[in-house]
Amino acid sequence: MEQTAELTPEEQRVLGCLIEKEATTPDQYPLSMNAVILACNQSTNRDPVVSFDEDVVTSALTSLRERQLIRIVYPAHARVTKYRHVLGEVWALTPQELAVVAVLLLRGPQTVNELKSRTERYGSFDDLGGIEGVLDRLAGRPEPLVFHMGRQPGQREDRYGHLLGPMPTLTSVTPDSQTTPTTVTTSLSRLDALEEEIRELRIEISTLRDQVDRLSERG
C-alpha cells in the first residue's frame, strides 16, 4: 500500500476516531461497530460534525481494511466484531505522531498552539522538539504526511494540514483577529469536556449492551 493513497473524508473520520479512542479510552478499545458510529458522529473534537449511518461506516471500514490500515478483532467467547487501526505499525509512527495525525484528521488544519492543546488528551507529550518537532518529522518523511499551510487570510497564525486526502471545509475556525478573551476559551473547553464525558458514557452503554446480548445468547 502506498502512503500517498488518498483517504476519503469518511475514511479519514473513521481512522481518526480509532486513533483517538485507542489513546483516550483504552479500556473501550478496540471499538465495536456501534462505538465507531458514535465516535464518528460525536459533536465534540470534530470539524465538521457528521451523521454517518452504519452503511457509511461499514464501507469506510472495509476500504481501510483493504488498504491494510485497520484490522478486525474477534474477541474470545464473543460474537461482536471489533476494529483497531494499525497505522503506527504500517507507517512507523510514534504515539505522539499518531496524536497529531488524529487531530488533523478530526479537526482539519490547526495552529501549533491548537495542536498543543488538543493533543493533551492523548497522553504524555514529552517528545523531542515537542509539537514543532513532531510536525517537522511528519513533514520531512520521504512521503510527507503533513504540510505547512502558512497564514490564511484574516488569520494571525500559521496552520498545518494533513496530506492523507481532501480536507473538509472548516466550519468553526474564525479569524484569529476576532478571537475572544481566554475566559471564553476556558468555557468552551469545559463544555467540550462535559460533552466528551457524555459521549464516553454512551460508548460504555453500547459496550454493556453488547455484553448483555452475548450473555443472552449463551443462555
In a domain, 140, yes or no: yes
Domain interval for residue 79: 9-218
**CATH code where residue 68 lies:** 1.10.10.10
> All 3 cell numbers of residue 111?
495552529
Q: What angle do CA 69, 31, 215 make, to 5 degrees?
A: 140
Residues 5 and 66: beta-carbon distance below 8 Å: no
In a domain, 211, yes or no: yes
The predicted pLDDT at position 142 comes to 94
User: Exposure of 163 by Cβ count < 10 A (0-12 exposed, 13-18 middle, 19+ buried)?
Assistant: middle
Which region among 74-78, 90-94, 179-183, 197-201 has the lowest average model confidence (pLDDT)? 179-183
Q: Please tell me whether the peptide bond between 175 and the residue prior to it is cis, using omega within 30 degrees of 0.
A: no
Q: How many domains is the chain partitioned into structurally?
A: 1
Give kind and range of the element (H or E) at residue 164: none
Residue 169 has pLDDT above 90, yes or no: no
